[in-house]
């Protein structure tokens, strides 16, 4: 068995994860392959397809030495004996389970490619987030070529976008699930050795396959549930005069609860929380656990309600009409420090504003190219994209701050006040601005949960 690694899928997970593995394992060759030739070309250029603080520096160090990006999927499968599968697993949009179940077509086609291309025994590592017991199906697909032995492991990824490199370099834990057999134990050891070059031993946790697969869904569901819980409380704060930033701060001082993931905001976005919670809902339904399914479904429903609430409140502060008013949306990325706009709350808010006939202008430091594609279907002339926040604010009646980019806290708000029309409304959905200071400058201020 050789030590070289290939990852199928050169996306947000495949690229950064393999870059760090290559950095920390200079003796191994690491290949990242994809069917998307454009994406591979971007990985081989100075303009990487994924923006992550610290990523470009690592890629620069290792690309061409022991990290390679290629479209030769079959060739790399033959070359390498450890195969990660990091392809996308979006929510199914058609047929059985549409809107909840995972669409496993990309994962299955990868499994078929591995099975057909393999020239000897391989370890296959699920890096994508998958429904529990997918490894069983993976084994069945791989067995269509029984001349080679495939050991399937589950190694879900817990990195968050925007902090991916830090999360990879200093993970809370690395999870490896494997079959409890001799080959399984050997494969788990092989995989643990890759991480063991930089992750302390006690942080590499092993479980059975099904626990590993379910843990990934469980972790995302628990995180999403915290966001929905704090957002549900933010609605009650607005109704009662309590302040969600104070409530969350003090609740978080309880060491059993802890301070993280208690920020009220426009609701969770990103490619995974909604999809993974819905996947859990579908799994519960499949196993006849209706009450458990309803419970998790409410986490998503609460998230959608939060974005509606934001627009409802804006309307109630603007005489119930934003028609023909210029509304500047500050931030289109689903969170700061990423250009990723998948499931961004900004899209829902922009959509609702366009329905109200507002003249929307969107600005973002990193996400405008993605926003342009995303908003292409909006009615012509309804949304303008503007890289400069000052130009976006010029003549605006209201600013809705949707993404907590540091750039926005550092703006010259005095200048912005001069550029806007009165009464200049600033709606801070992230609680990251100094509202007292803005009020002093003459802004009318609103914030989520306050
Ligand atoms: P992505 O869409 O950015 O990347 C997936 C890539 O796989 C695409 O470039 C696509 O072209 C490629 N692909 C699809 N089918 C292929 C095939 N048959 N052969 C070769 N390449 C193929 O997705 P992502 O954000 O990297 O997510 C991938 C998986 O990782 C998902 O299951 C996701 O839930 C999980 N995950 C993502 C994150 C994250 O932060 N984005 C974090 C943890 C886990
Ligand atoms: C999340 C998880 O944090 C990762 O562990 C996981 O690997 C990843 O999903 C995945 O499976 O894809 P990510 O979506 O990149 O990572 O970003 P988060 O920092 O978790 O934020 C998700 C959303 O929740 C963002 O829209 C963020 O603004 C929102 N959020 C987060 C809040 O509104 N309040 C908070 O207190 C925290």
Burial of 416 (0-12, 13-18, 19+ CB in 10 A): buried
Phi/psi at 151 (5° precision): -110, 120
| 8 A C-beta contact, residue 387 and residue 414 | no
Between the CA of 238 and the centroid of ligand 1 the distance, in Å, is: 38
Residue 2 has what pLDDT?
Answer: 78
Atom of ligand 1 nearest to the CA of 39: 9
The dihedral built from the CA positions of residue 301, 304, 309 and 310, taken in this order, carries a sign that is: positive
Residue 146 has what pLDDT?
Answer: 87
Element (H, E) at 175: strand 174-177
Residue 3 has what pLDDT?
Answer: 87
Ligand number nearest CA of 7 is 1
Residue 232 lies inside a defined structural domain of this protein: no
Q: Does the beta carbon of 210 lie inside 6 Å of ligand 2?
A: no
Ligand number nearest CA of 110 is 1
Write the pLDDT tens digit of every residue in 237-248. Answer: 999 999 999 999
Residue 145 has what pLDDT?
Answer: 86
Which residues does the annotation mark as catalytic?
272
Both 315 and 353 in one domain: the answer is yes
Between the CA of 223 and the centroid of ligand 2 the distance, in Å, is: 7
Residue 118 lies inside a defined structural domain of this protein: yes
Place of tokens 């939060």: 306
Low-confidence ranges of the chain (pLDDT < 70): none
Atom of ligand 2 nearest to the CA of 335: 28
Compute the radius of gyration of the chain from its Cα atoms. Answer: 23
Nearest protein CA to atom 24 of ligand 2, as residue: 268
Report the alpha-carbon distance of residue 333 to residue 53 in Å, rounded.
Answer: 15
DSSP secondary structure letter of residue 5: E
Both 147 and 249 in one domain: the answer is no
Angle made by CA atoms 236, 237, 241, in degrees to the nearest 5: 125
Residues with CB under 6 A from ligand 1: 8-14, 34-36, 39, 73, 86-89, 106, 109-110, 128-129, 157, 159, 161, 271-272
Element (H, E) at 42: helix 37-43
Q: How many domains does the chain have?
A: 2
Both 255 and 204 in one domain: the answer is no
* Residue 406 structure tokens: 């540091």
pTM of model > 0.75: yes
Write the pLDDT tens digit of every residue in 432-450. Answer: 999 999 999 999 999 999 9
Mutation test of ligand 1: which of 41, 51, 75, 86 has the most ligand atoms closer than 8 Å to its C-beta? 86
Exposure string of 316-352, with b = 16+ CB inside 10 Å and e = fewer, is eebeeebeebbbbbbbbbbbbbbbbbbbbbbbbbbbb
Report the alpha-carbon distance of residue 234 to residue 7 in Å, rounded.
Answer: 42
Both 254 and 150 in one domain: the answer is no
Both 147 and 269 in one domain: the answer is no
- Side-chain half-sphere exposure of 401, counting CA atoms within 13 A: 26
Mutation test of ligand 1: which of 34, 125, 280, 341 has the most ligand atoms closer than 8 Å to its C-beta? 34
Both 253 and 378 in one domain: the answer is yes
**Which residues on neighbouring strands pair with residue 207, listed in sequence order?**
177
CA 239 vs CA 141, 393, 432, 434, 441: distances in Å? 54, 29, 21, 21, 26
SS3 176: strand
Write the pLDDT tens digit of every residue in 159-214. Answer: 999 999 999 999 999 999 999 999 999 999 999 999 999 999 999 999 999 999 99
The domain in which residue 349 lies consists of: 242-450
CA 1 vs CA 121, 187, 310: distances in Å? 8, 11, 56
Residue ending a domain, choose from 216, 250, 276? 216
Both 254 and 144 in one domain: the answer is no
**CATH number reported for the structural domain that contains residue 52 in this entry:** 3.40.50.720
Ligand number nearest CA of 225 is 2
Between the CA of 13 and the centroid of ligand 1 the distance, in Å, is: 6
Both 210 and 252 in one domain: the answer is no
Report the alpha-carbon distance of residue 154 to residue 76 in Å, rounded.
Answer: 21
Between the CA of 160 and the centroid of ligand 2 the distance, in Å, is: 6
Residue 38 lies inside a defined structural domain of this protein: yes
């Amino acid at each position: 068995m050789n030590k070289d690694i290939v990852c199928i899928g050169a996306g947000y997970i495949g690229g950064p994860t393999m870059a760090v593995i290559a950095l920390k394992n200079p003796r191994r060759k690491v290949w990242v392959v994809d069917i998307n030739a454009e994406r591979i070309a971007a990985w081989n250029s100075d303009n990487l397809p994924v923006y992550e603080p610290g990523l470009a520096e690592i890629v620069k160090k290792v690309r061409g030495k022991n990290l390679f990006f290629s479209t030769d999927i079959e060739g790399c499968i033959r070359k390498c004996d450890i195969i990660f599968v990091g392809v996308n697993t979006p929510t199914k949009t058609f047929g059985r389970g549409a809107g909840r179940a995972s669409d496993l077509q990309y994962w299955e086609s990868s499994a078929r490619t591995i099975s057909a291309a393999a020239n000897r025994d391989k370890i296959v590592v699920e890096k994508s987030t998958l429904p529990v017991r997918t490894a069983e199906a993976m084994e069945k697909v791989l067995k269509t070529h029984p001349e080679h032995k495939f050991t399937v492991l589950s190694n879900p990824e817990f990195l968050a976008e925007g902090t991916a490199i830090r999360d990879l370099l200093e993970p809370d834990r690395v999870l490896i699930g494997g079959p409890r057999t001799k080959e399984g134990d050997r494969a788990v050891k092989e995989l643990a050795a890759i991480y063991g070059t930089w992750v302390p031993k006690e942080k590499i946790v092993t479980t059975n396959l099904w626990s590993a697969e379910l843990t990934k869904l469980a972790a995302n569901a628990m995180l999403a549930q915290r966001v929905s819980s704090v957002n549900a409380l933010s609605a009650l704060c607005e109704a009662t005069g309590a302040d969600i930033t104070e409530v969350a701060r003090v609740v978080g001082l309880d060491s059993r609860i802890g301070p993280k993931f208690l920020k009220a905001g426009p609701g969770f976005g990103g490619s995974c929380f909604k999809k993974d919670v819905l996947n859990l809902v579908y799994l519960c339904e499949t196993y006849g656990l209706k009450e458990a399914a309803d419970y998790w479904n409410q986490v998503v429903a609460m998230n959608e309600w939060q974005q509606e609430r934001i627009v409802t409140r804006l309307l109630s502060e603007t005489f119930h009409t934003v028609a023909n008013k210029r509304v500047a949306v500050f931030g289109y990325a689903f969170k700061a420090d990423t250009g990723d706009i998948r499931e961004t709350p900004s899209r829902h808010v922009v959509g609702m504003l366009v329905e109200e006939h507002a003249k929307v202008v969107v600005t973002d430091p990193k996400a405008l190219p993605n926003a342009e594609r995303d908003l292409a279907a909006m009615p012509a002339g309804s949304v303008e994209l503007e890289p400069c926040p000052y130009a976006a604010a010029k003549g605006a009646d209201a600013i809705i701050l949707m993404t907590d980019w540091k750039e926005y806290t550092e703006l010259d708000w005095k200048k912005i006040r001069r550029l806007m029309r009165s009464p200049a409304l600033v709606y801070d959905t992230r609680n990251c601005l100094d509202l007292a200071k803005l009020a002093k400058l003459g802004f009318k201020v609103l914030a989520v949960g306050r």
